[in-house]
Structure 1
Amino acid sequence: MGSFKQDVKETFLGLSESLQESWSNFIQFLQETWPILMFLLCVLMGIWWYADPPPPRHVQLATGSTGGSYELLGKKYADYFAKKGVTLELVPTKGAQENLDRLADRNDPVQAAFVQAGVAHAKDLKGIQSLGAISYDPIWFFYRGPEVNNIDFEQRRGQFKNFSSKTISMGVQGSGTYAQATRILKLSGYEDTPHLVYMQGAEAVKALKEGKIDGAFIVDAYDAPNVQALLSDPGLHLVTFKRGKAYVKLIPYLHILEVPQGSLNLERNFPAEDLQLLATTTNLLVDDRMHPALQFLFLEAAREINGRGSFFADRGEFPSFKDSILPDSPIAVHYEHNRYPLISAYAPFWLAELINRLFFILLPFLALAYPLLQVLPGYRAKRMHNKIHRLYGALKAFELELLDGYDAQKRDEYLKRLDMLEYQALKINVSKNLSGEYYSLRTSIDYVRNCLNRGVYPYTENQEV
């Protein structure tokens, strides 16, 4: 038993000594090679800074029309960005068409935009990538007047005849509302319906509430001011899409949202029966030249703001990467599987980004630089040789000085100079391979000291004691 304990003790002692020696060699390596390491690091940092500059502190986001959910959502994103030290400027637009056009324009400063899935020419644009879908946008059709029982305006010659002579708002041309309403009506066979008008969301809401129009398509979030204004009006009614599954089959980017009886207003039991709404999704699109760190920040904002859950979305459902209308950004693909680097939860955005970038630069650098400098032919040995040989040279010069003008009165001064040489020798860190030369140097210094201590010999012709 005692022998086993002794073996274990000696094993751990050997490991400890080996680790200490390795650490000592590494520290010595840094002390000897730091000028080269600093030079290589400066070159690497210069290349890195030029090839991958830090993210900008200002970015523009195209939202949509005034009063819509995109305006409110954009303000939430701007607040989130401000906490991270980045200014997110919101750019109001007329809708999805303008958002896409500005994002596709390589000279336009807009680098991000909220765009509904299903905008006609989105797939033909170049230079735009998707960070995924961030929310549902229900397709609401509100109308005023007597409620039509079991309304099913999808039937070409059915109940929709009740609206054939009515004035209906389709949204502004170029907006997401216009794109969705046009596609649904065309698919249902109503593309030539008369009395269609084209109003922005807030304008359509005002006109419908004042009785200037009879119905309006609104494609917006449940909590959007325009939608809430219409839902709170007891004189307005809401259409159900009974054949929602058929629309989803024919228009793949659409979704079905269930609205249980009374869920919109329990007090007045609105709706009076279960409804089905069709919905598109809002996609967060970016210029493919946007800095990766800013894309990560947008995705984190989407997870923080849109991932909380809402009237129609479950917690954690967004951002979603299933229904992108354009090619996914590689950053979004990475984020889907890995999320944001862990350090971002414990450090400010700029510091986390800097550390993250340095981390991926320094690790490869150290992995390559250390073995590279270790295998440089005779680099470390030559440096140690040079230190030892310089002291040998100083010792030889000292002996020549003694031969040329030895002064017995200065013996103490000579001994102090030898002591200084020996002190300089003691400060040299040498590897085991050069221990012989190191101790030979110290022996030579001691030899000269002994010569001085025993008398003037051999530095004068006359031997005096």
Structure 2
Amino acid sequence: MLSVTLVLIVSLAVSLVAFGFFETAAPNTLTITSGPEGSAFARNAEQYKKILAKQGVTLKILPSDGSRDNLGKLANPKVAVDVGFVLGGEANSTAAENLVSLGSVSYQPLMIFYRGQPKHLLSDFKGLRIDIGPDGSGSNSLAHTLLASNGIKPGDGTTYLDTLSDDTVGALSEGRIDAFFAMSDSTPTAVIRQLLRTPDIHLFNVTQADGYARRFTYLNKLQLPKGSLDFGEDIPSEDVQLIGPTVELIARDSLHPALSDLLLEAAREVHGKPGLYKKRGEFPAPLEHEFRISPDATRYYASGKGFLYRTFPFWIASLIARIVAVVVPVVLVLIPAIKIVPALYRWRMTSRIYRWYGALQRLERDALNPSVDAMRREELVRHLDHIENAVVKIVVPPAFGDLFYGLRGHISAVRASLLAEPSFLSIPPTANDHVKDADTRPTR
């Protein structure tokens, strides 16, 4: 019985260790949903891929139509994706249930290019042909929100279009469209640069930027300084005010903590540099908008990477973390279990002996009954012989010898009590009595 118990405890411990070891393993493959080819999102994903590869983690890049498409993929459990770039203002209550933010990584300005007479308000675009980008893009979503806040809605004469990115400049120059809403999550950077250098195409100056930033809390007021894109050609020729959300690194809440740290390390390397709209070290930052900041990201921003991942390469740190995570709980379980084993063993040994005391007590009570005759006493003696024969066959360790010989002594005492009755002494001894006398000798 004891050996079976020990086998069960050891088997359980081994099973827990094996299960925990494999379950706590940090994956060495991640999938990120980025954006169209040539977009800022796609370029950032490629940089992440190179950085993570140095740690032995493979980053798979899943192209998309932009921010809203990324959010849809992340919210859909049937799509194999772990993390993605999402613009502020895209979330809804359903999508946010199983998603967390690792923080904001950059600003994403909205650039509105148009042809014709200077325009000062977004309401001036009413009734025009506007390219707001493809469905699923950040520019499409934000354009609908901003135009609606200016009273511009489908059916009022305004036409919404989606031209191919390689035809956007031509469409705007030739008058096939009147305005183009561009965000680098879905618009190739080369197209934006070409638009900035094309004569007769203007970049809209959002003079009400402060108002939009107050009205829509996920928007930020940004400024593109005069000449900042090209000092020689003075592009832009004046300070231009822009608005735009921040880009958040959104992940499923099942993301492994070690991979969360690696992603934030990559984000710090990619987005921590100074730029037109940001200061050095400004990103990544735990700016909470529609998505809650994950506990792992909160810990990272407070204290950085864990000690193991700061000290060792990723795969070694992951291995040590898995061992600690599995072995410590198992040891905590085994220590009480091991303490129970001696008590269980003693109980098992003593139960082999004490179980005969009940039968011995019943036999003695019968013997003390005044109505018991000589024939009944002889029957009781034979019953006592049976008990003694069974007890002699018990195998116990030397440590329990006191209990064993104590039981033998009590059997002898009961026998003496039975044989001491005058009516019983006249009965000649049987062959069993001689055998029993021999059996009372100490056994090993």
The normalised TM-score by structure 1 is 0.64
Partner of 2:18: 46
Deviations along 1:377-402, one digit per CA (max 9) or x if unpaired, are: 89xxxxxxxxxxxxxxxxxxxxxxxx
Q: How far apart, in 1, do the equivalents of 2:283 and 2:289 lie? A: 12
Q: How far apart, in 2, do the equivalents of 1:99 and 1:223 lie? A: 17
Q: How far apart, in 1, do the equivalents of 2:288 and 2:204 lie? A: 25
Residue 233 of structure 1 deviates from its aligned partner by 2.9
1:67-106 pair list within 5 angstroms: 67-106=38-77
1:234-273 pair list within 5 angstroms: 234-273=199-238
Given candidates 347, 352, 358, the residue that maps to 2:323 is 358
Q: CA RMSD in A?
A: 3.2
Q: Secondary structure at the match of 2:108?
A: strand
Output the amino acid matched with 1:68.
Answer: S
Residue 65 of structure 1 deviates from its aligned partner by 1.8
Partner of 1:126: 97
Q: How far apart, in 1, do the equivalents of 2:334 and 2:278 lie? A: 51
Residue 340 of structure 1 deviates from its aligned partner by 1.0
Given candidates 136, 146, 154, the residue that maps to 1:184 is 146
CA pair 316-375 structure 1, distance change in 2 beyond 3 A: farther
Partner of 1:139: 110
Contact 1:134 1:284 in 2 (8 A): yes
Answering whether residue 172 of structure 2 is matched by residue 208 of structure 1, we say yes
Partner of 2:417: none
CA pair 193-102 structure 1, distance change in 2 beyond 3 A: same
Residue 135 of structure 1 deviates from its aligned partner by 0.9
CA pair 331-242 structure 1, distance change in 2 beyond 3 A: same
Deviations along 1:18-44, one digit per CA (max 9) or x if unpaired, are: xxxxxxxxxxxxxxxxxxxx9998566
The normalised TM-score by structure 2 is 0.67
Output the amino acid matched with 2:217.
Answer: P
Output the amino acid matched with 1:286.
Answer: A
Q: Secondary structure at the match of 1:309?
A: coil
Residue 136 of structure 1 deviates from its aligned partner by 0.8
CA pair 199-323 structure 1, distance change in 2 beyond 3 A: farther
Partner of 1:219: 183
Contact 1:208 1:215 in 2 (8 A): yes
Residue 195 of structure 1 deviates from its aligned partner by 2.8
**Which structure's CA Rg is the greater one?**
2
Deviations along 1:27-84, one digit per CA (max 9) or x if unpaired, are: xxxxxxxxxxx9998566324225x331222221111122211111111111112111
Output the amino acid matched with 1:178.
Answer: N
Partner of 1:282: 247
Residue 209 of structure 1 deviates from its aligned partner by 5.0
Q: How far apart, in 1, do the equivalents of 2:275 and 2:208 lie? A: 25
Q: Which runs of 5+ in 2 are unaligned?
A: 1-9, 344-444
Q: How far apart, in 1, do the equivalents of 2:110 and 2:157 lie? A: 19
Residue 173 of structure 1 deviates from its aligned partner by 2.2
Q: Which runs of 5+ in 1 are unaligned?
A: 1-37, 379-465
Given candidates 274, 277, 291, the residue that maps to 1:326 is 291
Q: How far apart, in 1, do the equivalents of 2:208 and 2:111 lie? A: 15
Q: How far apart, in 1, do the equivalents of 2:232 and 2:168 lie? A: 26
